Amino acid sequence: MESSADEHAMESDTETESDLISELPEDILQKILSCVWIRTVVRMRRVSRKWMELCESLQFIRLDYRDFEHWKVEKFTRFVNNLLLVRRKVDLQTFQLHWNPHGPLNCNDVRMWIGYAVKHNVKVLDVKLCLYDKTVLPPAIFTCRSLQELNLQWGNAPYRDYDHTGLVLPDIINLPSLKKLTLRDVEVDELSLNRFIAWSPGLEDLNLIDSAMHLDLIASKALKRLTLDGFLDECDGFTIAAPHLISFECTGCSLEAISWRDQPSLESARIDTCGYTFDCESKFTGVLKYAKKLALFGSDIKVMLEKELPTCSAFESLTTLEIGEWFLTEDLYVVLRFLQLSPRLEELTLMHRPLDEGAEIDCMPIDGMTFQCPLLESVVIQCSEGDGRIDKLLSVLVVNGISLDNINIAFYDEIEKRDRAERIRADEEQSKELRIFEKRVKRNPEWREYDPYAMSESDSKQSDDGFSDASDDPDDY
C-alpha cells in the first residue's frame, strides 16, 4: 500500500498551484516539461489552454522504453506519430529515442521520426536502438546544420547483413554546429573521421564505442575530449595529434598502440589496456604529469610506469588516482613511486588481481622506499575476499602514515552484489512511481480514456495514447 505522503507528493491539481506554475517564463516551463514523463506531458494538454499551447510547442521529446515497457510496439508507434502530428511548427532542442531489443521498432518509423527532428532544426539527437537496417538511415542526419550533439548507438547489424560489421557512414558529412559526437557500432575509418573533423570545426567531444577501425591518425586542434572504447578490428596502432586535449579515455588496445604528436596537457585520463609489454621509447608519462585525475589499468601500464617513473617529474596537480589490475602485493614499486611523486593526492583506489597458483613475477625492489601524502584521506583497496597478501599492502601504507580509519577494503563479490542491489532498487523505485502515477490517473477521469497497460488486441481500435482522435500520420520524411 502506498503511503499518503507519496500520493500527496504526486498530486498538484489545485488551481492555485496550476496558476503559480503557469506564470513562469516559457523557457523555464519548457525545462520543467523536459523532466516530466512524456505520457504525462500529453495529458497535461487538457489542463488549460496555456498548457495545451506549451505541450504542443514541446522543445524536448524524450522517448525511453522504460516508460512504455508494457506497451506493444504498434501502440507506441501511434503515440509518437500523434505526438508529432499535434506539435506546432517550432524548433526542437532535443529528440531522444532509447528502445530495448525485445520489441524492435520499424526502421521506416524511426527514419520518419528522425527526419521530423532534423526538419525542425534539432540541436541534440540521441538515438539508442538494438538492431538497425542501415539502408534506411536518414542521410539528412549528417548534413543537419543545427545539430550540436549527435549520439547514435544502433547496436549490432542484423545477422543477414554480412557486408559490414557496423553502420556505414554516408560520403557527405557536413555538421557545422556539431560540438559532441558519440557513435557506437559504426564503421569509422580515417577518411570518415577526417570528414567529421573538417566539416565540424567546433567538434570538441568525440566518443567512438566499438567503432574505430583503420585509424592511423586522429588530428584536431579543436578536440578537447576523446574516448575510444573498443575497436571493430584489431588495433594496429594510431597517433593522436590534438594539442588542446584535456580528457582521454581508451579501453581495449595495448599501450604500445597509442602514440602522441603535439603532446597535450591532459587534466584527466582513463586507460584500461589489454597488452603485457611496453617497448616504446616515447615518454608516455609526459602527457599525464599535469592531470588532476588518473585511472590506469593493465599489465603493460605497469611495465611502462616501471620504465618511466624513476626519472619522471612530480605529478603536482594529481588529486585522484586509480591504479592496478596487476599483482599489487607482489610488485609494489609502481604504487609507492607514484605516491612519492603525488604530494597533493587526496583519493587513492588500488585494484589487486589475485595471484595465480605457481605464477612467477619479476619484482622491482622497494627496500627503503617511503612516501609522504599529507592530504590523502581516502584509500580503497579492491581485492578478492580471503586474499591474505593484502596485509602486506596495508602494512606498507600504515608504516608511511596512512591511518587504518582512512582505508576501506572492498571485495569484488560485495561490489558486484551492491551494484546489482542498486539496479534492483532503481527498478523498484520506477515501478513505485508508475503505480502512484496510475492512481492519480484514476482519480482524474478526464485524463484517462483507457487502461494504459492493456495488452488486448482491442486497444488498437481505441484512442489509447492520450490524444484526441487523429488518424493521419506526420509527413513522410
pLDDT digits (tens, 9 = 90+) for 352-373: 886 555 455 566 667 778 889 9
Burial of 391 (0-12, 13-18, 19+ CB in 10 A): exposed
- Mean pLDDT across 22-48: 69
Predicted confidence at residue 423, as pLDDT, reads 82
- Give the mean model confidence (pLDDT) for residues 39-65: 76
Most confident of 51-55, 153-157, 318-322, 349-353: 318-322
**Lowest-confidence region among 19-23, 29-33, 95-99, 130-134:** 19-23
pLDDT value at residue 242: 95
Predicted pLDDT at 118: 95
Average pLDDT for residues 221-225, to the nearest whole number? 97
For residues 266-274, average pLDDT: 94
Computed over every residue of the chain, the mean pLDDT equals 80
Q: Give the mean model confidence (pLDDT) for residues 268-275.
A: 91
Position 210, amino acid: D
- What pLDDT sits at residue 287? 92
Winning range, highest mean pLDDT, from 149-153, 331-335, 458-462: 149-153
> Considering the chain, what percentage of its residues have pLDDT values greater than 90?
38
Residue 476 has pLDDT above 50, yes or no: no
Mean pLDDT for 233-250 is 91
Lowest mean pLDDT among 156-160, 272-276, 441-445: 156-160
pLDDT at 473 > cutoff 50: no
Q: Comparing 33 with 250, which gets the higher pLDDT?
A: 250
pLDDT of residue 475 exceeding 50, the answer is: no
pLDDT at 412: 86
Distance CA 114, CA 144 (A): 11
Place of cell 599535469: 290
- The predicted pLDDT at position 87 comes to 87
User: Residue 137: pLDDT band by 50, 70, 90 thresholds?
Assistant: low
pLDDT higher than 60, residue 194: yes
Instruction: State the helix-helix crossing angle for 26-34 and 15-22, rounded to 10 degrees.
Output: 110
The confidence score (pLDDT) of residue 465 equals: 56
Q: Could you tell me which residues come within 8 angstroms of residue 275 by beta carbon, excluding any fewer than 6 positions away?
A: 253, 254, 255, 256, 257, 298, 299, 300
Query: Does the pLDDT at position 221 exceed 60?
Result: yes
In this prediction, residue 477 has a pLDDT band, given cuts at 50, 70 and 90, of very low
Mean pLDDT of 386-409: 88
Question: What confidence tier does 65 reach under pLDDT thresholds 50, 70, 90?
Answer: confident
With a cut of 80, say whether residue 13 has pLDDT above it: no
Provide the pLDDT for residue 249. 97
Per-residue model confidence (pLDDT) at position 296: 96
Amino acid at 102: H
CA 312 to each of CA 58, 93, 97, 309, 342: distance values in angstroms, whole numbers, following the listed order: 55, 47, 47, 5, 11
Mean pLDDT (whole number) for 82-86: 88
The pLDDT of 244-257, averaged and rounded, is: 93
The pLDDT of residue 163 is 57
Residue range 302-329, pLDDT digits in tens: 989 999 999 999 999 999 999 998 888 7
Residue 184 predicted with pLDDT over 70: yes
